[in-house]
Chains A and B, each alone.
Chain A
Amino acid sequence: MPSAPSTRSEYCGNVHADQMAEDFPVVTLDSDARDAVKLLAERRLPGLIVVDAKGQPTSVLGASQVVRFLVPSYVQDDPSLARVVDETLADRVADKLGNLTVRKLLPSDPAELPVVNHDDTVLEVAAIMARLRCPLVAVMKDKEVVGAITASRLLELVMPH
């Protein structure tokens, strides 16, 4: 039987993804977009795990992706135009999200799914986050989502107190 970790770095080396995972809300592809955005905003989440009808994760809806969806493409192409418009972004949110589902908020090109196995180490989780530039990964055990790890949770574990 391995001895208990004596230092923080040893602890981080031994801890597994399921020990780091926290309960995390999930939404389906057909969930109402406004409800999903409300959830992100009220709980200040970095993203949401999106699952299909069978409960299998299909994507992560990052908060930054929602922001990108809300900002008109012409302002993204030419940021100086943001200054010439007198309205606030808030004026557009209700219009842009009206009658949409979460599916519409996701990028048209499906990105690689940010998932880790329940027994992956901190470094493996960090590697996935860094490679996919995703602030949130879903933790899978027996083909089921058992929670999620956010970038801030991961940093909390690796930073010395």
Chain B
Amino acid sequence: MTVIALVVFVAAYVLIATEWTHKLLAALGGAAVLLALGVTDSEHAFYSHETGIDWDVVFLLLGMMIIVGILRRTGVFEYVAIWAAKRAKGSPLRVMILLTLITAVASSFLDNVTTVLLIAPVTLLVCDRLGINPVPFLIAEVMASNIGGAATLIGDPPNIIIASRSGLTFNDFLIHLAPLVVIELIVFTLVLPRLFKGSFAADPERVDDVMRLNEREAIHDRTLLIKSGAVLLLVFTGFIGHSAFHIEPSIVALLGAGLLVLISKVPTRDYMSSVEWQTLLFFAGLFVMVGALVKTGLIADLAGWVGDITNGKPLLATMLILVVSAVLSGIVDNIPYVATMSPVVLELTKTMSDPAHVHALWWALAAGADFGGNATAVGASANVVVIGIALRAGNPISFWEFTRKGVVMTAITIAVAAPYLWLRYFVLA
């Protein structure tokens, strides 16, 4: 059974990484084979928290997708982005810095793909007004999105998986990862002028074209904006107040989505169209496959092997997880990677007595996987989405054009994360 589980898992992983078949087909196909061969069963696949589908993750994503689907109809994101571009007074560098910071902040509360879908059209509009190439701006924004998404539990799907497996709360992410993300964004902002050198020359006469944009017109339903804002506030209160309310984030998100649907009166078809069913099913398939590895004992063996090669040294294990996660997340989607590695890290943490070291391992996994998504053009779903938008707008971004910048940025973010983890969880702990 162990060999079958491993072979099916590796085959599905190769198909997901190479995109020879649709990733949903690979994940569900792998799960189906494991169920058909009896490697796992319905009890383990559907009802076990350790070896089955993590319904907290699936329903948290579902709830947030519905909330974001309604929120994006308000136009508030376009309003803020255009307002910022006007505050930058048409200076391309200032425009890039402000738009990337907005992207990073938005990404910490919305999923990365939604964020770039919202920011990219505004960016194309502003660059069109200024008569400058939008490609550097789009690349910078998707990088900011991948960095900013690391700040909260709901910012990036890998964080949702990590939270569910580790038991870490929304506030844990805010306290431990958000400060690292703030440092990363400061460094990112300082690096931008050099990373995109030569991309900031604009005709001063075209600045007026940006200043004439009317951001107020972006918001066409103020009532919906107020209702969405109020529900979002309630949802975040629920996330932050987890220790007081004892309501899981998935339940908070579902209740928030239900409330917003009720009071917004948005047609069912409209808000349901914002749910990425394929993503949710992909998660389900992945969880069944990884659960089979846990059930057969492979994950425990892998964790033991990692423990052996790091010789039980928490700092070495932390750095190894950080670097390996960054490298592998640049090659394969970080969602399947984290879904696989979370049980491994969970096993490793069982051997550690110091809570600071336990934290270090989880944050190393989150930082490595989230920041590693920047390394290549296919490292994260948001990268692929932005490349598609750029192509449609007549500004193609080649794999290497993205990857050249991405590898540099990933190296910098990991170089910043490593001393942060070392200082906070080993030196100052």
Contact = CB atoms under 8 A, between A and B. Distances in A.
Interface of A: 72-75, 77-78, 80-81, 83-86
Interface size class of B (residues with CB under 8 A): 20 to 34
A83 B220 contact: yes
B22 interface: no
Contacts of A74: 120-122, 124-125, 128, 393
Given A80-B220, A81-B78, A83-B220, A73 B215 contact: no
Contacts of A81: 78, 121-122, 125, 218
Contacts of B125: 72, 74-75, 81, 84-85
Is the contact region of chain A dominated by helix, strand, or loop, or is it mixed? helix
B272 interface: no
The residue among B121, B122, B394 with the most chain A CB atoms within 10 A of its own CB is B121
Nearest to B74: A80
Given A72-B125, A74-B393, A81-B125, 20 more contacts: A73-B393, A74-B120, A74-B121, A74-B124, A74-B125, A75-B125, A77-B120, A77-B121, A77-B389, A78-B78, A78-B121, A80-B75, A81-B122, A83-B214, A83-B220, A84-B78, A84-B125, A84-B218, A86-B212, A86-B214
B364 interface: no
B124 A84 contact: no
Contact of B213 (A73, A78, A80, A84): A84
A110 to B, nearest CB: 18
A84 B215 contact: yes
B168 to A, nearest CB: 35
B124 A72 contact: yes
B205 interface: no
19 contacts: A72-B124, A73-B124, A73-B389, A74-B393, A77-B117, A77-B392, A78-B78, A78-B118, A78-B122, A80-B75, A80-B78, A80-B218, A81-B122, A81-B125, A83-B217, A83-B220, A84-B78, A84-B125, A85-B213
A42 B25 CA distance: 51
A81 B72 CA distance: 13
Nearest to A77: B121
B68 interface: no
B172 to A, nearest CB: 35
Contacts of B217: 83-84
B121 A75 contact: yes
Contacts of A80: 75, 78, 218, 220
Contacts of B117: 77
The residue among A77, A80, A83, A86 with the most chain B CB atoms within 10 A of its own CB is A80
A109 to B, nearest CB: 12
Contacts of B348: none
Contacts of B215: 84
B82 interface: yes
A78 B392 CA distance: 13
The residue among A75, A78, A83, A86 with the most chain B CB atoms within 10 A of its own CB is A78
Contacts of A77: 117, 120-121, 389, 392
Contacts of A78: 78, 118, 121-122
Interface in B63-86: 75, 78, 82
Contacts of A75: 121, 125
Interface in B107-152: 117-118, 120-122, 124-125, 128
Interface string B207-222: 0000011110110100
Contacts of A84: 78, 82, 125, 213-215, 217-218
A81 B394 CA distance: 18
Interface in B189-239: 212-215, 217-218, 220
Contacts of B220: 80, 83
A128 to B, nearest CB: 28
A73 B215 CA distance: 19
A16 B217 CA distance: 52
A37 to B, nearest CB: 19
